[in-house]
Structure 1
Amino acid sequence: MVRYGKLGRVELNVTHLEKSRRFYEEVVGLQYVDTGVDGEIRLRCDHDHHNVVLHAAPEAGLRCAGFVLEDVAQFKPLIERLTRAGLEVHETATKICRERAQLRAIRVFEPLIGATVEFYVPLPDVERPFRPSVTRIQRIGHVVFNTPDAARAIEFWRDVLNFRESDSIGEFVTFMRVWPNPYHHGIGIARFDRHCLHHVNYMVTEIDDIGKALTRLKTANSDVVFGPGRHPASDSVFLYFLDPDGLTMEYSFGMETFTEAHPREPRRMEPSPSNLDSWGSVRDPRCFTGAGANTTPTLTGQKS
């Protein structure tokens, strides 16, 4: 049984690297860490070494999602499960791990969501305090994947990777915990006509962080595409907005938590507007549709 810590990092392809860096620093509120050997920009929103990586690319989209394992003992059962499922596991070179502040990391291409997925353990003693700027971000909260093969993807993440279902809204989206992390969801799997990014979430400290973001996003000409509102499934207050490439980002405040032992059963909620937002806001059609497809797998560990 594989045990995880949390969603640790998301890598995004962006079409204008410096423009996106300014947006994620000055508008979203991430903190610059460093620039990698291939020019990628690493940013952070909590005490980890980094949580978001921006890569220059011709088309914007999801590049990789990284999950922290509870400890190094989790690699053995995880690799066994992945291999039995027919996936090729790629070990990241030690030199590359050290550059990314990782003790060990592996990557696979997960075809059901059409994305590269990384599993890693951070190097010890590299944590440092995060200094909030325009928004008091607590952590990177979750990533949601769009896929035309949602049912089989849910089975894979549940039965092979040992993530746990929390709730589903019809066949539209299923929310899953990065078990035994207590938060309602660390990932979501949404039904869509192609593989692409649904959205990336940042959890903030107070509900005021949601309200203050409205003016800041307007000033930055970043379109708010859903909210503010409240999700009945997770009880989170939310605000969705677009980055310079049209990728959907979210601020949220508050979320249901689960006990490791004897959690409540997952619910299947009707796909009605009131089950998406109990406050009644209207979603812009651009929300959750991604700017492009997920990108070619990056698995060898030689380039992030």
Structure 2
Amino acid sequence: MIELLDVCYVRMGTKDIQTSTDFATRILGLEVSESSRNSRHLRSDERGHTLYYHEGDPNDHVVGFEVRDSQTLEIAAATLEDLGHDLHRGTRDECDSRHVRDFVAFREPSGLKIELVVQPEIMGKRHFPSRDAGISGFSHVGIFSQDCKRDEAFWTQVCNARVSDRIGDVPLLRVNEIHHTLALVPAGRGGLQHINHQVESTDDIMRSYNLLKQHNVPITFGPGRHPTSGARFVYFQGPDGMTFEYSVGVNKVDEETYRERQFGFEPFSLCMWGAKSNLNGLEN
């Protein structure tokens, strides 16, 4: 079994690196940690980066997950090869670009590229964003699934993810004590559905909600509260159609006592306050 510790970064192509950087810093509230003519590394917490933009295809999505050490990475690589996955082993230059010791890349069953990484860099300098959005860190992703049952089996049987809750056929999966690290959203394609950053308070949610409206950023869901994780949230659309989320108050799971729950696929399973969802794959 592949033992994942946490999600650690997202890499994405963008049509316009300057527009995406401006949004990430001025609106989203991230900090540029490294910059070149065609790429940007951006921070949201103590890690060297959690979001990477490069000029290229906006549908080019990569999600990085941390594993414990080199031995764990080799076990993961052998497991994936035995299952018939095509692996790419990171070159020295590719590892340096990601600020990791080592990584292997493959595609999960719906086609999203996944990178398993060892020792992502931590920075001694505190995260200092250009806008005080109250962000405390990058926390989870939603990914599109062409077959939720099949993909759930990959994440829970090949990897160490556990189902926390389901909303209809949508599983919310965790790899640590946080309620979920990824959500599988039914779609006719693979790729990223949304990117989540945790913030410190509900006040941060509402301050950002008002700022987003002032800047005419499309709000796709919220403000609201998820009955599954307990988190208060707001979702909004960034460059190239990518959805971002702020949330606060996500539940932690006691592995010894917690049992997964089944919610019906209906509006109040998505938001107990009654907000209407316009999220891709979760419209109501």
- TM-score (structure 1 length as normaliser): 0.87
Q: What is the CA-CA distance between 1:129 and the residue it aligns to? A: 1.5
> Given the alignment, which residue of 134, 150, 158 partners 2:156?
158
Q: What is the CA-CA distance between 1:267 and the residue it aligns to? A: 1.2
For 1:281 and 1:64, the matched residues in 2 are separated by 30
> Given the alignment, which residue of 253, 262, 282 partners 2:276?
282
For 2:256 and 2:62, the matched residues in 1 are separated by 32
Per-residue deviation, residues 234-271 of structure 1 (Å, max 9, x unmatched): 11111000003221110001111123x41412111111
Q: What is the 5 A alignment of 1:78-227? A: 78-110=76-108, 112-122=109-119, 126-132=123-129, 133-171=131-169, 173-178=170-175, 181-227=176-222
Distance 1:54 1:82, change over 3 A: same
Distance 1:195 1:42, change over 3 A: same
Instruction: Flag structure 1 segments of 5+ consecutive residues without an equivalent.
Output: 291-304
Contact 1:41 1:54 (8 Å CA) reproduced: yes
Per-residue deviation, residues 28-76 of structure 1 (Å, max 9, x unmatched): 001001125x72211010011100011222x423510001112333113
- TM-score (structure 2 length as normaliser): 0.93
Give the partner amino acid of 2:173.
M
SS of the equivalent of 2:239 reads: coil
Q: What is the CA-CA distance between 1:127 and the residue it aligns to? A: 4.4
* Identical columns (%): 28
Give the partner amino acid of 2:128.
R
SS of the equivalent of 1:245 reads: helix
For 1:262 and 1:238, the matched residues in 2 are separated by 28
For 2:60 and 2:92, the matched residues in 1 are separated by 24
Give the partner amino acid of 1:121.
V
Which contiguous aligned blocks of 4+ residues in structure 1 show a shift greater than 2 angstroms?
A: 1-5, 59-62, 70-73, 122-128, 193-197, 287-290
Instruction: Flag structure 2 segments of 5+ consecutive residues without an equivalent.
Output: none
Per-residue deviation, residues 199-248 of structure 1 (Å, max 9, x unmatched): 11111111111000112112222111110000011111110000032211
SS of the equivalent of 1:200 reads: strand
For 2:211 and 2:265, the matched residues in 1 are separated by 31
For 1:123 and 1:202, the matched residues in 2 are separated by 18
Q: CA RMSD in A?
A: 1.9
Specify the alignment match of 2:44 in structure 1: 45
Give the partner amino acid of 1:30.
L
Give the partner amino acid of 1:104.
D
Contact 1:41 1:53 (8 Å CA) reproduced: yes
Distance 1:42 1:263, change over 3 A: farther
For 1:96 and 1:148, the matched residues in 2 are separated by 29
SS of the equivalent of 1:102 reads: coil
- The alignment of Structure 1 onto Structure 2 pairs a total of residues equal to 281
Give the partner amino acid of 2:112.
A
Distance 1:134 1:64, change over 3 A: same
Contact 1:27 1:134 (8 Å CA) reproduced: no
Give the partner amino acid of 1:119.
L
Q: What is the CA-CA distance between 1:95 and the residue it aligns to? A: 3.0
Alignment partner of 1:68 is 2:66: yes
For 1:160 and 1:244, the matched residues in 2 are separated by 33
Q: What is the CA-CA distance between 1:123 and the residue it aligns to? A: 5.2
Q: What is the CA-CA distance between 1:289 and the residue it aligns to? A: 5.4
> Given the alignment, which residue of 238, 243, 255 partners 2:238?
243
Q: What is the CA-CA distance between 1:12 and the residue it aligns to? A: 1.6
Q: Return the structure number with greater relative CO, CA threshold 8 A, min gap 6.
A: 1
For 1:126 and 1:144, the matched residues in 2 are separated by 26
> Given the alignment, which residue of 267, 273, 277 partners 1:273?
267
